């Protein structure tokens, strides 16, 4: 099947009221679940600010990894060859995943129960169509995600601290 998203749709409030309908349209096969002892992370290496630095600091990811309990870290990215960008995560011995076909990665990301994502249509839609039960998403103060539904514990950054509501 072909899925085509033409928008900047990385905000839960755009999908949430229509989530069950979207799921029915997509007719996705059930994704096998990758359990709570593993965590997935989506790192967008093409997100650069005006000064050339990454918009989302590796420190944000590292702070979450320090708090979470897991045995294996899988990082999804568009450029697995940019090994210097992953030095900050070395102590967790991550598996770096970057398939030539982004839909392969999208389906793989759907399998994880614990996920850390930036503002990204790619990762947000994968998480919403998958097995996630704990999600950390970078959020801007003007775009908070103030609710949890569909059995997912959602965390977002608001005013420099994490907001959390249990499902």
pLDDT by residue (tens digit) across 128-139?
A: 888 888 888 876
Q: How far apart are CA 145 and CA 71, in angstroms?
A: 28
Q: What is the mean pLDDT of the chain?
A: 75
Q: How far apart are CA 126 and CA 103, in angstroms?
A: 9
CA distances from 78 to 5, 24, 83, 142 (A): 17, 28, 12, 28
Q: pTM for the complete prediction?
A: 0.76
């Amino acid at each position: 099947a072909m899925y085509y998203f033409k928008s900047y749709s990385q905000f839960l409030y755009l999908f949430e009221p229509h989530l069950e309908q979207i799921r029915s349209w997509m007719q996705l096969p059930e994704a096998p679940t990758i359990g709570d002892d593993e965590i997935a992370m989506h790192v967008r290496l093409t997100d650069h600010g005006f000064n050339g630095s990454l918009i989302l600091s590796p420190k944000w990811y590292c702070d979450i990894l320090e708090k979470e309990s897991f045995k294996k870290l899988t990082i999804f990215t568009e450029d697995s060859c940019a090994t210097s960008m992953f030095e900050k995560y070395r102590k967790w011995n991550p598996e770096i995943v970057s398939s030539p076909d982004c839909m392969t990665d999208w389906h793989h990301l759907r399998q994880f129960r614990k996920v850390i994502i930036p503002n990204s249509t790619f990762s947000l839609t994968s998480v919403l169509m998958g097995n996630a039960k704990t999600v950390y998403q970078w959020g801007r103060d003007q775009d908070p995600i103030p609710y949890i539904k569909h059995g997912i514990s959602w965390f977002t950054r608001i005013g420099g601290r994490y907001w959390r509501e249990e499902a």
